Each structure stands twice: as C-alpha cells, then as structure tokens.
Structure 1
C-alpha cells in the first residue's frame, strides 16, 4: 500500500510539473522596447466563464503570456446564485495567485450592453463595482473617472451586427468624449477589417484577444500548433504603468493564427528585426540571398511589380527558425535593382500585406 501511495504521489507530481511547463513565443525586441504577450479579454466563473480565476493564470503561464486582464461582465452573471461577490473579486484572486509566476494581472471589467454601443472593456480600474449602473453612459463615466483604458469589443460580432459592421453615432459620442481608446481588431479567431481601418483612421489602439470562456484547450488545439490570439505590446518596462503607457500610445500589434496585424511602422520593424541576412553572393548574372528567421513567426512573401529583368520566384515562405535562399537571375545586362514583395501575413491595411523591397 505504501509503495502504491508513493507511486501515485510521484505520478501526480509529474503531471502537475508537466502541466506547468512554459512555452515562450520567441520574438525580437524592437529598438528600445520589450515585447509583452498579452490577452486583455478573459472571463471566469464570476461572470459567464467556466473556470476559476487561478486557472486563467496557469493557462497564461503555460502559453508564455506576460499579461492578462480579467474582464468579467458587469451586467451578465449567470452564476450569481452560486457565486455572490464583488465585481473586483475575480481580479483579487487571480492577482494574488499570479505573484511569483511572472504573469501580470490587470483589473478590468466588460461593460456589456446591447448594440449600440455593444460591449467594451475597461482596464486599469480601481473599483469595478462602480460600473454597475443602469445607464451605459454612467458606466463609461465611472470608468473614465478611474482613468481607465477603454476599448470596443468584437464590433463585428454576429449576435449584435448580423449583416454589416457599422460605426454608430453612439460610437462617435464615445470616441469624441474620450471614452474609446482602442478596438478589438481580432476576437478569438475572427478578424475585423472594419475595426482595422477605424483604428488607422482614428488613431485608436489595435487589440487582439481571446474573449475566452471555456478552458483554453477547448478552443485551441495546441497539439496541432494552434495558439490563442495575443496583443503584442511594446513597452519600455513591464510594470502596470509601462503597459498602460504603451497602450495609450498605440504601441501594439495583434498576433493571431499565423498573421500579424498592426500599424506599418511597428510591423515593419518587427519584420526587419526578425530576419537576418546570412549572405549575399553576387555574380555577373545571378544573386543569391540567404535569410534566417530568428522567431517563432512564419513570413509569407509574394512577388509584386518589379523590373522584369530581375527573375525570381513568385512566392516564398520563411519558416520559424528556418533559413531560406532567394535566387535572382539578372537578365539583359541588369546589374542592380529592387526585389519587391508583399508580406501577405503581415496586415498593415485591411486584408492587405506589408510591401517590402530589398535592394540588390
């Protein structure tokens, strides 16, 4: 019996340790900034989620996230007959548990209203309870009074905008009044080109989050290489204030599936810091460029308009941590020029990849 109990104890310990192995997403630092992997839209049993707040911390740790926001609904609490607590409670539990795990927890709430204006997350709150009010504008005012960072969630959600993703007059009122600082461009696996364009036009911060309710492995098959969407935040330091400062200054891109979405300046810098030129061999009629991808991101290149005397393949994929050669034939005495590409999985405009040129 003692041997059996010892075996079961060791077996349980082994499973527990293996469950807590952290898988880091390897990315380059941008010039002067660290990259934090963040999910700012997460639910627990304190609203309509299916897990305890500590589980969200463990999930984030295992997936290599640096920051999460617990953002339980204010107006929708289907478990309230069983779980009676302040709207601050889920954050309190998660934040205490996260200490020492390298995961920062941000206090937030989801203002959950019909369309318009729909759902919005308020981050960096001091008291979530103050958002519990019948009038939606009073909830936004309470968030603004606490100097919250507020973003519009899933504007293209079928349940609220089944036909067309619209910007309503109520959103103009929120934006003009300083109650909207960003928009979810990606929610779960859904990308909103309309939200992408609004962020560019109105200089709003782009975010990509899970909006997770079930255990994370129910929505993403890690064995197949799937991963949650993340907001990559470029910070000067990883303090809560440093995260806020970066969000307020729009230093973000979104990572989902195998794509990056963001403003071109940050996307281009991320790309250039990810690719290392190992060698350039040039002869009279040929150029051979060997590249190395230093990150966990793939890069997909598609040839665009160029000098037809520079002959090279139409498409390339530079796989994570892989090397790739680009061979260019120089015809008709051409000695130089640019090879031009669209990096199709780096979206700098709605469904349009970043244009990139390399001089020979």
Structure 2
C-alpha cells in the first residue's frame, strides 16, 4: 500500500511538470494580411455627387499584365467608384504567351498562330467571356460600377485609338473599316472617347480621319490626360466640339507599380452625377459634367471647376485687427485633394483634410479684403490657371 501511494504521488508530480511545460510555438503572425480601401474624400457639387472613375485600363486579354479580376480589385482598393476595362479590340500581344502555354490542348500540340484582328479579319477572343469574368468579381463590390468597354485601335494614318464605353456585345463591334467599327459601337448605345490624341505626334493637330470622324459626330469625349501626360490644347478642342473631358491611367501594368510608389492617387475622371448607375453616369458624360485629376492637379471647365473648388474649401474670419489693418482667416480643405495657393511670390500648400491660417491686410484704399489666390494646380482651357477670391462663410 505504501509503495502504491509513493507511485501515485510521483505520477502526480510528473503530470504537473508536463502541464507546466509550454506548448511548442509553431507559428508567429507579425501582421494581418489584408488591404484597406483608400477613401478619397470629394465634395458634393451643385447637388451632384463626385464619382471617381478610370475609364481606360487593360488586362492580359490584350496587352496588359493583370487579370480582369485584379483590375476590379485594384479599382476598389484605390478608392474608385467606377472602372471601365477597355482591352484592345484588335491588338493583343499577350495572346501569344497564352497560346504558347496552352499549346498542348491542341491536337498537334502546336500553338495557334498569334492572331491580330486587323490582319485576320475577325476577333479571335471571346471578349464577352472576359466581361463575365470581371462581372463576377465586380459583384463582390456593390458600390463599384463596372463599365464594359473596348479600345478600337488602328494605324497612325487613322489617328490614335478610341474607347467605346457601355458596349453590350463586343463581338459585334469589330469591322476592318474604322469608321464602321465606331458606328457599330454607337449602334449599341456606346459612347466614344478619343484616346491620347497627341500620341506619337509633336503637335495637337487632327489627322484627316479624326477631322472626318469629328465632323460626322462620331466622338463624344476626349482624353485630356493619359497616364501622367496632360495635353493643354486638347481642353480647347473638347470645349469647341462639345466633348466630355477624360483623364485615365491607360494602365497596362499593376497600378501599384506606378502611382502608389509615387505616393499619389491614380489618374482619374471626376464625374458629377446624381447616382452611380450606368444611366446617370452616361447622362453626366453626355452633359460634360467631368473634371480630371492627375498628379495633384485638377483640370476642367470653369463652370464645374469653380463650384468644385468652392465646395472643397471653406474660409472663415478668425480675427480682425483694426489697429494693424489686418484680418486673419482660417482656410480649410474638406477633401483629399491638395490645393496650391499663390499670392505673388508667396505659395501655400493647402493639403487634403487640413487647415491653414492666413493674414490679409487692407487694400491701399483702406478697404477690407478677402483672401484671393491663383490656384496653381487647377487648370482651365487655354493652359490657364484661375485666380479666385475665396468665399468667406458668415
């Protein structure tokens, strides 16, 4: 009995020692794998919401390096409200890599000859299937509008390229005649944007094809910014021909490799509309309610740029020193976009969601003055920057 008791006591101590030992650590997680959406704060302008859109991007189904699913995810995480995938209808250089990788699916295990729609006379890719792939991903982000589009690419003689937005059946768009190709898209209710109108040129002049297409009313909009390049003279062309203005990345690579590495928002079109639906966005484009953002600059017609600025920036009187003849104001930026305020040689940066204090002296005639600046990062047609007096809240 005494031996049994000793054995039980020893076992009890042994069990306690085992329980006291720590479990083996097999993994340590230093951070959570995840990504937050970049929320870009915009103002409400004249009763319209300000939607952020990229209307020109590419995927692996033409000459991009990213899948349609990833383009949708990029757009949402970058803070966009609207994305249009616009793969080239004819030029598809990435196709040769896919055909080579999949050659063993063919009976002779040889890759199908790399096709070019402009040469073979027909489209070899089921672009509607590409839309379905992107649609499934877009369904995960109900607040993101995905627009079906395609880029109609031609030779230099026909002038640049053209995006067809809001197409319904991309297979029915292609035609060897570029005029007919655009007409086919318009027959589906698509809007046509003239892309990068100064590409491969030294001057902002239209080719014969572009002039004819413009005269026939085949264009609805035009890019004044492509990627990181601004075309100032094209703003005047847009105004004179009643075209909506677009700024787009035209990205072929991952967006993070370009814009995020620079610490700036991606190039985008700001569309002023009542709601984020195809009908409302299409209506806003046709009525030219757009502004363009690129690298901290915003471009557009004064009828929309001025109210955008007024809705973004508030100014209030903080202190009035009658003896010194000066007043102090607090200027607040209620958006994510910066504004560069210039008064002669003095330049102040009003960063997004921040405030600055400024002092304004009486005029030479003794009158009180409100803050007045040239806004160096806002652009109007004819390569002009506006000089505006800030509206002081009562």
When the two structures are superposed, what TM-score results if normalisation uses the length of structure 2?
A: 0.81
Identify the residue that residue 30 of structure 1 maps to in structure 2.
45
**Alignment partner of 2:128 out of 88, 99, 113:** 88
Where structure 2 has 5 or more consecutive residues not aligned to the other structure, the ranges are: 1-23, 100-123
CA contact 1:299–1:319 (8 Å) conserved in 2: yes
Evaluate the alpha carbon distance shift between residue 333 and residue 197 of structure 1 in structure 2; reply closer, same or farther with a 3 A threshold.
closer
Q: How does 1:88-107 map to 2 (within 5 A)?
A: 88-101=128-141, 102-107=143-148
Q: CA RMSD of the aligned region, Å?
A: 2.3
> 3-state DSSP class of the match of 1:91?
helix
1:203 aligns with 2:242: yes
**Alignment partner of 1:314 out of 334, 341, 346:** 346
CA contact 2:222–2:245 (8 Å) conserved in 1: yes
> 3-state DSSP class of the match of 2:167?
coil
Deviations 1:105-161 (A, max 9, x none): 101110001223220000000111122221111101101111211010001113xx2
Where structure 1 has 5 or more consecutive residues not aligned to the other structure, the ranges are: 305-312
Deviation, 1:301, is 1.6
Identify the residue that residue 288 of structure 1 maps to in structure 2.
328
Tell me the distance in 2 between the aligned counterparts of 1:136 and 1:96: 31
Identify the residue that residue 308 of structure 1 maps to in structure 2.
none
CA contact 1:70–1:90 (8 Å) conserved in 2: no
**Alignment partner of 2:339 out of 289, 299, 302:** 299
Tell me the distance in 2 between the aligned counterparts of 1:359 and 1:257: 26
Deviation, 1:75, is 0.9
Q: Bigger shift: 23-32 or 334-343?
A: 334-343
CA contact 2:317–2:327 (8 Å) conserved in 1: no
Identify the residue that residue 108 of structure 1 maps to in structure 2.
149
Q: How does 1:93-172 map to 2 (within 5 A)?
A: 93-101=133-141, 102-115=143-156, 116-158=158-200, 161=201, 163-172=202-211
> 3-state DSSP class of the match of 1:14?
coil
Evaluate the alpha carbon distance shift between residue 342 and residue 70 of structure 1 in structure 2; reply closer, same or farther with a 3 A threshold.
same
Q: Bigger shift: 133-142 or 195-204?
A: 195-204
Deviation, 1:169, is 3.0
Evaluate the alpha carbon distance shift between residue 242 and residue 3 of structure 1 in structure 2; reply closer, same or farther with a 3 A threshold.
farther
Evaluate the alpha carbon distance shift between residue 331 and residue 46 of structure 1 in structure 2; reply closer, same or farther with a 3 A threshold.
closer
**Alignment partner of 2:317 out of 279, 294, 298:** 279
Tell me the distance in 1 between the aligned counterparts of 2:319 and 2:273: 38
Evaluate the alpha carbon distance shift between residue 120 and residue 359 of structure 1 in structure 2; reply closer, same or farther with a 3 A threshold.
closer
* Equivalent residue pairs, number: 341
Identify the residue that residue 247 of structure 1 maps to in structure 2.
285
**Alignment partner of 2:355 out of 319, 323, 331:** 323
Deviation, 1:254, is 0.4
1:188 aligns with 2:227: yes
> 3-state DSSP class of the match of 2:298?
strand
When the two structures are superposed, what TM-score results if normalisation uses the length of structure 1?
A: 0.88
> 3-state DSSP class of the match of 1:24?
coil
Evaluate the alpha carbon distance shift between residue 44 and residue 332 of structure 1 in structure 2; reply closer, same or farther with a 3 A threshold.
closer
1:77 aligns with 2:92: yes
Deviations 1:39-73 (A, max 9, x none): 01010111111111000011111101111001000
Identify the residue that residue 352 of structure 1 maps to in structure 2.
384
Identify the residue that residue 310 of structure 1 maps to in structure 2.
none
